[in-house]
A and B are shown apart, each in its own frame.
Chain A
Amino acid sequence: MNNLFKHILQFIGLSLLQIVVLNHINLFGYINPMVYIAWVFLFPFKKNKFSLLISSFLLGLTIDFFSDSGGINAAATLFIAYFRIPILKIICQKSDIDSPFFKLNNIATYKIFLLIFSLTMVHHFIVFSLEYFKLSDLDSIIYNTFITGIFSIFLSILGIILFTSKNK
């Protein structure tokens, strides 16, 4: 019960942070980092995977409602929620994940970074592809993915370090 409350608070907190602050940063004129996907990184691995899919979809849709972007964020967030475990399996050995004591804190820092990096880049690439919706704009899509991705990764790692350190 306590855990559920914590998750709901996290959901609302992340969406408000994205809508109220991060969508209006406009760093260098056009960079708006998307940190709400930290939800997918922070969601416990041993929890029901169905609830991760549904909650990620709803979180993406919430962001879409506020930024008038159709279903772009919902599609991208759902995609990385589904491919979180497969990508982790590529990064770590398979036996690690299958053990019942598996926790993100136990694996090496660079592997966590690799996980966050790949998921963020995939997410941003889907978001910008669906937003531009034109193959001829591929250079702008890749450019935006990388520039925005770097800031999103930086902010999410900073946030994760700040807010999860006391749990260790």
Chain B
Amino acid sequence: MQQIIYFIKKFKYFLLFVFLEFIAFVFTFQHHSYHKSKFVNSANFITGGIYNELNSITEYLNLKSENKLLIEENTHLKNLLEQRNSVAPITINTVIDTVKYFQKYEYTVAKIINNNYTKRNNILTLNKGTNQGVTQDLGVINGKGVIGVIKNVSSNYATVISILNSYSKINVRLKNNTHYGTLVWDGNDYNTVQITDMPRQAKIKLGDTVITGGKSTIFPEGIPIGVIKNFEFKSQQYKKIDVALFNDMSAISNVQIVKNLQREEQKSLEQKTENE
């Protein structure tokens, strides 16, 4: 016993170093495994509060580009509305007053109060949390495309795994055919992301539009992402497909959180089928 106490006394400086380094590595490993970084994240009261204050100062600087984005989205929605009006007389209009019953997706407005795009694993912070109905695994989009998926939530803030993150994997497909692949990021350029797992029979041309595939329970189908910038087709396989994003990830501010109201139903059904 005396030996142990003597040992601890003699090496206490080194032992403190090892102990603290161990804690730091535990946090790091937790951070690298999805869903586990419960403690160290910027969605807490202090960090979220400071970022909120900072954002209230800097948001005036990009009002111009935000307005442009809103106008573009408005035009797009008005065009959709016009298309709908021209189709309407053919179908029979039946108004069923079932609030949220046939609605599959629900959108909430939020603001990015901390944006990152230069690191390998980028994480954003939003100013909405559980008090506003935000939960884990919801999609985040804006008028131009996909931003990411919510990772952690506190009562008033949420962190988002950006599509510019090595752990982000989003189901995507081409607009003009239904072959789908997975959207990943290689960490080099924040305006370019990559598609993997694209089947070889898919016909890809430069300039093809890439949209979300709707094969996950997070994003609705058809949200724009970007256009094919270049690709390699070697030995009957797609080696590398680069996609130029529609979004400028360095200047995003107002976003929408997408909630799939039938997610639980779909998940539990899939779970049940898998277990049988």
Contacts and interface: CB of A to CB of B under 8 A. Distances in A.
A93 B251 CA distance: 52
- Please classify how large the interface on chain A is, using the bins under 10, 10 to 19, 20 to 34, 35 or more: 20 to 34
Interface in A38-74: 49-50, 53-54, 57, 60-61, 64-72, 74
A102 interface: no
A67 B24 contact: no
A60 B28 CA distance: 12
A83 to B, nearest CB: 9
A151 interface: no
Nearest to B33: A70
Contacts, number: 101
Contact of B47 (A66, A72, A78, A137): A66
A70 B37 contact: yes
Interface residues of B, number: 39
A71 B27 contact: yes
B41 interface: yes
B20 A70 contact: no
Interface stretch (A103-111, A117-125, A128-136, A157-165): A128-136
Contact of B16 (A31, A53, A130): A53
B24 A57 contact: yes
Given A64-B40, A65-B47, A132 B120 contact: yes
B118 A68 contact: no
A82 interface: yes
14 contacts: A29-B190, A53-B16, A65-B41, A65-B44, A65-B47, A68-B37, A68-B159, A69-B31, A70-B40, A71-B27, A71-B28, A72-B24, A78-B24, A131-B120
